[in-house]
Amino acid sequence: MNDWKFYTKSLWAFLAVPLLATGIILSVSQSAWAADEEKAAVARCQVVPQAGHRVSLQVDGVEKAVWNFSDAYPRPFFFPLNGPAGTSLTRIGHPGAPNHDHHLSVWFAHHDVDGISFWANSSKATVVQKEWLTYQDGDGAATMAVRNEWRDAEGTPRLDQQVVASLIALPDGESMLEIQTTLAAPEGVESVVLGKTNFGLLAVRVAKGLSAHFGDGQLTSSEGRQGEKENFEKSARWMDYSGSVGAGSGAARTTVREGITYHDHPSNPGYPSGWHVRNDGWMGSSLTMREPIEIKQGEPLTVRYLLHTHRGDMDASQAKEIHSAFSNRPGWELKKAPRPHVAWEVVRKES
């Protein structure tokens, strides 16, 4: 028995005598203690808010991904996105082009929102986190939800965004970051048009070692096509970038091969998506590659993606199984929480 539990039970026993003597009946059942222990249990998967406007998503105390929302950057992003060996499989910025500093690991952006670019840092438009909605720990997943606002150079809201992200634990140190985002026209705005472009909506800049040009990486699609030339603007259910990264430090440092499989979802417009991919280490499902999308007031657009961080090169059979499960898994909905001291919760929709 730990010291805290011994102290607490001893205190109740001490208080019981005078309380009973005054006619007050005190009963502490074994089931009550069991419920207390269950309530105090630490979940395997946790959302851990940290200083510096960071939210760490962890499995067994090991950081797998971090959501960054400081206003020091023009938009929020996930970094690192760690593979099974504990090394980030993404990076900040391009390995050789200083004008690509807008490449923030894993991030939301779009080149044409009513004619305004929310893509490059040369634009003064920004994406700002307005509030966090829920942080939910669990034995199988750590889930968070936030609300973002896309603002033009004058600070006028152009797009409302809700993001739900869930870090799902898998065997052997692998994990999945399942993302659902809902875009809506701001109050008083009749509609918002996402213009036809290859740039947007969820972008991934992989680690240098995963890049085909700067490392020994390989791009592979769900259709078995390999490389930039064979996959650029081509349709695919998923896209994988796998290559070598360093793991560990000092004398124990070694090289391992890991990767990210980026899954589109059948409910997304234009599925299977056309892909914007580059040998220099970049991949993105292009939501509006083929045609623009109008988001009318009161008719929000919800899209879903999944990033699987895995050991070795892509296993096509595993990717197929994960894609099938993701395709058939219901999305989330945000609800007022029924519990005290909790404002919101996200739950899976009924299938």
pLDDT digits (tens, 9 = 90+) for 126-185: 999 999 999 999 999 999 999 999 999 999 999 999 999 999 999 999 999 999 999 999
Map residue 185 onto helix, strand or coil.
Answer: coil
Q: Tell me the percentage of the chain whose pLDDT exceeds 70.
A: 89
Residues in CB range of 254: below 8 A, 6 or more apart: 246, 247, 248
Domain 46-348: assigned CATH number:
2.70.98
Beta bridge partners of 263: 238, 306
CA nearest neighbour of 112 among 273, 287, 248:
287
Phi, psi of 239 (to 5 degrees): -135, 140
Listed by start position, the domains of the chain span: 46-348
Residues 77 and 91 sit within 8 Å (Cβ to Cβ): no
Question: Integer distance in angstroms from the first to the last C-alpha of the chain?
Answer: 44
Span 3-18, pLDDT tens digits: 444 334 433 443 343 4
Give the model's pLDDT for residue 41.
Answer: 80
